[in-house]
Amino acid sequence: MWELTYPILIIILSNTVYNICTKSTPEGVNSFAALTITYLVAAAVSFVVFLITNGGKNIFAEFSKTNWSSFVLGVVIIGLELGYILAYRNGWQMNTLSVTANISLAVILLVIAFVFYHETLTLKQIIGMLLCAGGLVLISL
C-alpha cells in the first residue's frame, strides 16, 4: 500500500509548492531568466541524486539508455512552467488555475489513454469527465 501512497504524496506536496513558487515569481523578471535558474538547480540536484543512487554503474552507460522522451520532456516542461507563470501574471487565481488545468488534463489523458494506449474507458470515467466539465463551468462562473 505504501508503494502506491508515497508517490502521490510526493506529487501533491511538490505540486502545492510548485504553484506557490510559480505564483511568487517576480512580475518584472524575464520568465526565461527565472526558468534558467530553476532548471540549473533542478539539473544540479538531479545529477547529485543520480550519482548517489547510481550504485557504481557506468554513468555514461546510464545516460545512453535514455531515448527521445527525455529530450522532448525537457522542452515540454519549459512550456508547462512558462504557461503557469504567464497564467498567473495574466490574472488567473491560484484556486482556479490548477483545478482547471488538472481537470482538463485528466479528461484529455483519459481520451489519449483509450485511443493510443488501448486502456479501458468505463462508463464511470465518462460520467466523471462530464462531471468534470460541469465543474469547470461552475468554477468559471
Mean predicted lDDT score pLDDT of the chain: 93
What per-residue confidence (pLDDT) applies to 63?
94
Whole-structure pTM value: 0.84
**Beta carbons of 112 and 72 less than 8 angstroms apart:** no
- Per cent of the chain over pLDDT 90 is 76
Beta strands in the chain (DSSP E): none
The answer to whether residue 1 scores a pLDDT higher than 90 is: no
What per-residue confidence (pLDDT) applies to 95?
86
Domain spans of the chain, in order of start:
1-92, 93-141
- Please report which confidence band the pLDDT of residue 139 belongs to, taking 50, 70 and 90 as the band edges: confident
C-alpha cell at 37: 535558474
What per-residue confidence (pLDDT) applies to 136?
87
CA dihedral 123, 126, 127, 129 (to 10 degrees): 160
